[in-house]
Amino acid sequence: PRSRPSAPSPTEASGPGPLALLEGLPEAFLGVDAGWRITFLSRRMRELLGARVQPGDDLRKKVADVLGLGQHLRLDAPATGQSAAEPYEHRWHEGGLCFEVSARPVEGGLLVHCRDISREFQARHELQRVGELFQAVMEGTTDAIYIKDMEGRYQVINSAGARALGRTVAEVRGRTDAELFPPDETKVNLRHDRDVLKAGHPLTYEDEQKDPHGDTRVWLSTKGPLRDPEGNVFGLFGISRDITQRRWAEEEVRRHSEFQEHLMGIISHDIRSPLGAIMNWSRVLAAGGPAEETARTSRRIATAAVRIERLTRLLLDFTRARLVGGVVIEPRGTDAQELLTKVAHEFRVAYPQRDIVVDAKGNTQGQWDPDRLAQVVSNLVENALKYGPADAPVRLATRGLRNKVVVTVHNQGRPIPEATLPHLFEPFRQGPQQTRTLKMSYGLGLYIVREIVHAHGGTIEVTSTEDDGTTFTVTLPRRAPPRKGPPPEPPHPPSHH
């Protein structure tokens, strides 16, 4: 068998030997004998060390610190007994150079190899600097910035994104949406990811997600594919901005604009019409006439004035509830049974031909605002009279439970359309119209009713079917909660996907 060739001697500095071949290489080489005397300097090494280092010099005194060899070789032992030194990076003392230095035993000594990696080092240093800048931008923004791999695992996420999930960066990194979000939100996130990867370019969308406190946040997100130099997709990036406050502001602007439009419509028609009637009937009164005609005209003026007064009260309540933060109540000791009986009596006087029934069970006393509660019941009874058949009774009932009181108002008749039910308590919405209706129908009544009930800490529900008719159910705690302070500030975005 062929024998293994021996390692070159560090003294073979010229001629056709292996070390002579190193002269033509751009890398730097240095050879030493067993006693650490320099036996070989390649052309590039001579350029680096200059005339101060010559063959025969002791490496330990002249070169060791320059090349950082003392940290990787045992200089107190012979060079021939050294193990190979793993490549390490070493910054040259001048010129901004950087070398990858390695050393390996050769016959009779040691060969040191210095490969110039200055460009690689500078590129890596620049990449590190850019990375630090990018990290500073990521951590300085309130937007969520993140990167996912093709398995959907978060490889990168900034603190803002982690905070939006109620977690730390370490808790998010390496996890998938399924491990971080509820199932419904996970499906939405994965659908957006698939859309981006299918499209092959960035997409922007809005979605709603719950924050760690259970509040709904609105996010404006841009996701796009990440590609390697060959153009292959290896993941996707995402930038998500919390636009909840902006949405809130836009909704407030829309609500104010809508309110102004409705207000102008009410003023131009529902207020101007009775005012015009009052002016006309006032002229009739001024002209004089039979006593019977004068009395009839006076009643018409009074009716028109009542319409204006009621509408003004509705608008004030609506303004407080919609724009100020809620209806103000003044709770005091009130008996729901007595209140229902009083309201029923007033409507029996106004509508003597209608049958209004009151039923009560148990302790129906509590701490409520009697005027506001009467407003609630009156509105519901008025609706029941309006939409219920004339030959069917309107039933008012109240019953006392352990810590709450329930009030119901029921009428037979055509049910409320199913599509209308979810919006019944919204302002400027009206129930089903029929030819025989009352004059007062502004779409504000049920909205004010709901706000008054909520101010008492209660709830209001409605059921409506062809067989059972329509029933409004008001449930009130026996003691209304304390009056709230000013309305809260709009939500601020946290410091997501």
The predicted structure's pLDDT at residue 224 = 94
* 52 phi, psi to nearest 5 deg: -70, -15
Range of 157's domain? 141-242
Q: What is the residue-averaged pLDDT of the chain? A: 82
Tell me how many domains the chain contains. 4
Residue 438 has pLDDT above 60, yes or no: no
Same domain, 414 and 447: yes
Asked if the structure places residue 37 within a domain, the reply is yes
Same domain, 347 and 470: yes
Residue 76 has pLDDT above 80, yes or no: yes
Asked if the structure places residue 404 within a domain, the reply is yes
Q: Specify the CATH number for the domain of residue 284.
A: 1.10.287
Same domain, 379 and 305: no
Residue 432: pLDDT band (50, 70, 90) is very low
Nearest residue to 316 via CA among 442, 437, 439, 422: 442
Same domain, 179 and 289: no
**256 DSSP 8-state letter:** H
Write down the pTM of the prediction. Answer: 0.46
Are 431 and 420 in contact by the 8 Å Cβ rule? The answer is yes
Same domain, 387 and 344: yes
Q: Specify the CATH number for the domain of residue 196.
A: 3.30.450.20
Same domain, 336 and 472: yes
Q: Specify the CATH number for the domain of residue 368.
A: 3.30.565.10
pLDDT tens digits for range 352-362: 899 999 999 99
* 220 phi, psi to nearest 5 deg: -105, 115
Task: Collect contacts of 181-188 with beta carbons under 8 A, ≥24 apart.
Answer: 181/209, 182/210, 185/209, 185/210
SS (H, E, C) 330-353: CCEEEEHHHHHHHHHHHHHHHCCC
Q: Which two tokens stand for residue 44?
A: 């590039």
Following DSSP, what letter does each residue of 127-178 receive, concatenated?
HHHHHHHHHHHHHH-SSEEEEEETT--EEEE-HHHHHHTTS-HHHHTT--HH
Higher pLDDT, 123 or 11: 123
- Give the span between the Cα atoms of 491 and 251, in whole angstroms: 13
Asked if the structure places residue 377 within a domain, the reply is yes
- As a residue count, the chain comes to 497
Same domain, 230 and 261: no
Are 85 and 75 in contact by the 8 Å Cβ rule? The answer is no
The predicted structure's pLDDT at residue 120 = 86
Picking from 221, 242, 263, the residue at the C-terminal end of a domain is 242
Residue 495: pLDDT band (50, 70, 90) is very low
Nearest residue to 164 via CA among 215, 224, 223: 215
Residue 17: pLDDT band (50, 70, 90) is low
The predicted structure's pLDDT at residue 350 = 83
Asked if the structure places residue 269 within a domain, the reply is yes
Asked if the structure places residue 128 within a domain, the reply is no
Higher pLDDT, 447 or 340: 340
- Give the span between the Cα atoms of 472 and 341, in whole angstroms: 17
Mean pLDDT of 7-25: 58
Same domain, 237 and 265: no
